[in-house]
Structure 1
Amino acid sequence: MPNRRASAPCPVCGKAAAEGHLPFCSQGCRDRDLLQWLSDGHRIPGRSVDEGEDGSDDGLDS
């Protein structure tokens, strides 16, 4: 049974994905995608949380 993921294009550059780097075509595209996540280039949609709105109580009162 053939691997269907290998036929999908690289999500970074659009080239054919390489078996050793799925779903990317190369280590370079994998690294670029990781850097986007680490620098907030990619974000998961959702409500932003401002400081103090997380509902936590650390027990320290000034």
Structure 2
Amino acid sequence: MSCPICQRETVAAFRPFCSRRCSDIDLARWMSGGYAIPSEREEDQDVETDEGHTTH
């Protein structure tokens, strides 16, 4: 198995990463929104109702 960040061989103590550095890089990407799972819902799109009110 190779490290998903740098492709080096993994180390058991940091698995699935090769080092603390790669582990921290991955964590920072998650926390900053670098990794995102696309949604099929359009939550931010405004929808107008029959009464003329705008809803989300």
The alignment's TM-score, normalised by the length of structure 1, stands at 0.64
Partner of 1:36: 29
The Cα shift of 1:27 comes to 0.6
| Greater radius of gyration (CA) | 2
1:49 to 6, 18, 43: 43
List gaps (5 residues or longer) in structure 1: 1-7, 54-62
> Which one is further off, 41-50 or 15-24?
41-50
Cα distance in 2 between the residues matched to 1:18 and 1:34: 17
Percent identity, aligned pairs only?
37
Corresponding residue pairs, total: 46
Report SS of the residue matched to 2:35.
Answer: coil
Which structure features the higher share of strand residues?
2
Q: TM-score, normalised by structure 2?
A: 0.70
The answer as to 2:11 corresponding to 1:18 is yes
